[in-house]
Chain A
Amino acid sequence: MMPIWTKSGEKRAVTLLKVQDCHVLRYVSKEESGGKTAKLLVGGKNVSPFSKPESAHEIFKEAGVPRKQKVTTFNVTEDAIIKPGTPLYAAHFRPGQFVDVTAKTIGKGFQGVVKRWGFKGQPASHGQTKTHRRPGAISTNKAAKVYRGKKMPGKMGNIYRTSFGLKVWRINTKHDIIYVNGSVPGHTNCLVKVRDSKLPTYKDCNKNPPFPTFFADGDEELPEDLFDKEIFQFTDSSVTFA
């Protein structure tokens, strides 16, 4: 995470996400998947092919791509289908867009009820016998049972969670890095899925995005860094208020 400053001198924190060897692996049509839209399988970071059996390599062989560590699905409309095997770059996103970022949260292991669910526990003194971080009562007398989903101690973290509506401040096309506002679930260097935001406030935010994606072999020559309009670029001189 890194600080960036806006043109009015306010500081924002930003997370850096690297797009590392992303390729489209397979196109699954609407009828085949049985859902409402077509799906595209996309694979992430490259990994050694020797730790999995040959049967697991089929998808990658069809697309002509080395084995990927993670394969995710994206629900796509019919006009945004991409041929399997095309690489995806950070320039697919543009500054000023809003994205949702999904990742597995940091695993905390087996945790008690105070840390896991934020229960208050019991006081430290005034006669409490061996009861300082326990859940207390778990149900009422009339219910005569414990309801399903009762908050109790258990394994915490290491589940998929999403941060919604994060603004993209800057894109580095040379190293394929997306600078996304705020924090993102997961530990440093973990795998992350970045999608266009589904929030209704940001429905009309994308003005002329690269559609269906940014193709590197096209005619467009993008500069090394793409900045948002609001961001303070270090090539400018210090901020002054008129």
Chain B
Amino acid sequence: RVSSDGKPPKFQPPPKPVIIDRKTQKEERRFLSPEFIPPRGRTDPLKYYLERKDMIQRRKVFNIPEFYVGSVLAVTTADPYASDKSKRFVGICIQRGGKGLGATFVLRNVIEDQGVEICYELYSPRIQAIEVLKLEKRLDENLMYLRDALPEYSTFDVNMKPVPRMDHEDIPVNKLQVRMKPKPWSKRWERPKYNIKGIKFELPEHKMKAAQKWSQPWLEFDMLREYDTSKIEEKIRKELSKELEK
């Protein structure tokens, strides 16, 4: 290389190696089931601690996999009245509710043109197996609008094979926009209170504008509604990892 004023070129040190610690990154991003996070209230934290102990105990014996609203699951429950004494139901998870031991999830499927939704309790001893057939997220946390969507969006094959997935990949977000049946719907999903991003609204412009009348733009600035769970989540994650390794 030709130097600028006859002197030897200035020594450029090699770039410092950037060490990306994948293990700690993975641990930070690890999934914490939403029923572990205690709600805001005046209850003694001891109660949540005891509930968490029971939940961890159940998870040691029975594997509750990671899943989100929008993933397709197959659940086998014990049933005294079935011939095989067990029942298997496949469906898409449309809602995850409840905190602590009473946590529930609702699976929806359309079987022989009849929409069926079943609400299962995660920690119920009747559940014998939960398999995740397809792990993915959707644009919303609550897919109750699938009741008013065309039935093709809620049908899933009962004998579906589990979709293979690599461990290190991020959870795919399905940006599907669902088409709806003609109105009337069970809820006015176009209103901003539901904040739904996963519907392809085919309503006329003036109706969409009229729905914005019910918007509450001050809600996002309301400080009393803020519930910062980051520190609580940290503590619970540490507790969980310690207990599950035992």
Interface residues of A (CB under 8 A from B): 2-5, 9, 11, 16, 18, 172, 175, 177, 188-189, 232, 234-242
Contacts and interface: CB of A to CB of B under 8 A. Distances in A.
Contact of B124 (A2, A5, A177, A236): A5
Nearest to A8: B80
Interface string B34-45: 000000011110
Nearest to B86: A240
Nearest to B102: A3
Contacts of A18: 44, 46
Contacts of B50: 16, 172, 175, 177
Given A3-B102, A234-B61, A189 B126 contact: no
A175 B62 contact: no
Contact of A239 (B47, B78, B101, B121): B78
Contacts of B46: 18, 175
Nearest to B82: A241
Interface residues of B, number: 28
A3 B103 CA distance: 10
B85 A242 contact: yes
Given A2-B102, A177-B50, A236-B61, A241 B125 contact: no
B137 interface: no
Contacts, number: 63
Given A237-B61, A241-B79, A232 B125 contact: yes
Given A2-B51, A234-B57, 9 more contacts: A3-B123, A189-B42, A189-B43, A234-B58, A236-B125, A238-B62, A238-B78, A238-B126, A239-B126
Contact of B57 (A177, A235, A241): A235
Contacts of B51: 2
A11 B58 CA distance: 15
Given A175-B46, A175-B50, A188-B42, A9 B78 contact: yes
A189 B43 CA distance: 7
A3 B57 CA distance: 15
